[in-house]
Amino acid sequence: MLLDVSRLDVNYGRTRAVKQVSLSVREGEIVTVLGANGAGKTSLLRGLQGAVRPAGGKILFDGTDLTQAPPSARVRNGMMLVPEGRQIFVSMTVHENLLMGSYMRADADVSRDMEAIYDRFPNLAERRNMKASVLSGGEQQMLAIGRALVGRPRLIMLDEPSLGLSPLFVGKLFELILELNKSGISILLVEQNTTMALEVASRGYVLELGSAVLEDDAAALSNNTALTEAYLGGG
Ligand code: ATP
């Protein structure tokens, strides 16, 4: 098991945003987390990343207990979050944004990896010295993913990456997710686009009011009409 989360609690003061959620991601797997607005998906990822310290439960990453570790320790271990809304630095250049992803790396291979990322994303290569603010929404999403890749992740956690993207870019994004997965990166994907998410994932969890109410194979979740009608709005 690469990521093994048991009975995680994330609170904001008295608001219990994530309640006793257990989930796992095996090495090489794509796992999706679905649920309506406010179900606790972002809070779950923030708890996993360490931005919010979990109030309870356990997070094991490749056997290491990271529950109370700071975000930097997660990054060093290979757990990267691509946050909702990308959160890139718009006043910095594309290149500077990518370099931010390398801050936990001690080795000297960063420039080689940066070139590999530019090969993968020609749009970013062309604009490497421009401010990130000139990028389209889709390119900004690629930049946010590129920044995570510079840190050499073993697991990428994506928070609603398709939000606000044109259908063309959504297609490209999901192709990219599959490619990254084929290259050996495990993926935890939070999505509102349930149809696409269940197409690429092997398993999924459904959150409702902070609790994981359902866990199943992606195919079974797609065929669960009660579920798609109740929580997912058809994606
Ligand atoms: P969305 O799709 O809108 O991002 P979500 O499933 O990611 O929804 P969360 O953003 O995790 O849900 O929110 C879960 C609950 O926690 C909600 O009731 C929300 O109001 C509350 N919440 C989220 N962030 C905070 C915060 N910083 N302080 C207080 N309450 C919060």
8 CA from centroid of ligand 1 (Å): 15
Instruction: Tell me which residue has its CA closest to atom 19 in ligand 1.
Output: 38
The structural architecture, per CATH, of the domain 3-92+156-232 is 3-Layer(aba) Sandwich (3.40)
With H, G, I as helix, E, B as strand and everything else as coil, classify residue 161: coil
Note the pLDDT tens digit of each residue in 62-121. 999 999 999 999 999 999 999 988 789 999 999 999 988 887 776 668 888 889 899 999
Note the pLDDT tens digit of each residue in 88-98. 999 999 999 99
Domain residue limits, the chain = 3-92+156-232
Q: What is the ipTM of this complex?
A: 0.92
pLDDT given for residue 234 in this prediction: 44
Distance between CA atoms of residues 18 and 2, nearest Å: 21
36 CA from centroid of ligand 1 (Å): 11
CA dist 200 to 34, 77, 91, 216, Å? 13, 25, 34, 14
| Phi and psi, residue 225, nearest 5° | -70, -35
Query: Which residues' Cβ are closer than 6 Å to ligand 1?
Result: 12, 15, 17, 35, 37-43
Atom from ligand 1 closest to the CA of residue 43: 11
pLDDT given for residue 224 in this prediction: 85
What's the rounded mean pLDDT across residues 146-170?
93
Q: How many CB atoms lie within 10 A of CB 228?
A: 18
47 CA from centroid of ligand 1 (Å): 12
131 CA from centroid of ligand 1 (Å): 31
Atom from ligand 1 closest to the CA of residue 210: 14
pLDDT given for residue 233 in this prediction: 54
83 CA from centroid of ligand 1 (Å): 14
Name the residue of 43, 81, 84 whose CB sits within 8 Å of the most ligand 1 atoms, as the mutation to test its pocket.
43
Atom from ligand 1 closest to the CA of residue 15: 30
Please report which confidence band the pLDDT of residue 232 belongs to, taking 50, 70 and 90 as the band edges.
Answer: low
pLDDT given for residue 192 in this prediction: 85
Please report which confidence band the pLDDT of residue 209 belongs to, taking 50, 70 and 90 as the band edges.
Answer: very high
pTM confidence score: 0.93
Highest mean pLDDT among 17-21, 85-89, 167-171: 17-21
- For Cα atoms 159, 119, 170, give the angle at the middle one, nearest 5 degrees: 35
**Six-digit token string for 23:** 């989930």
Atom from ligand 1 closest to the CA of residue 207: 6
In total, the chain counts a number of residues equal to 235
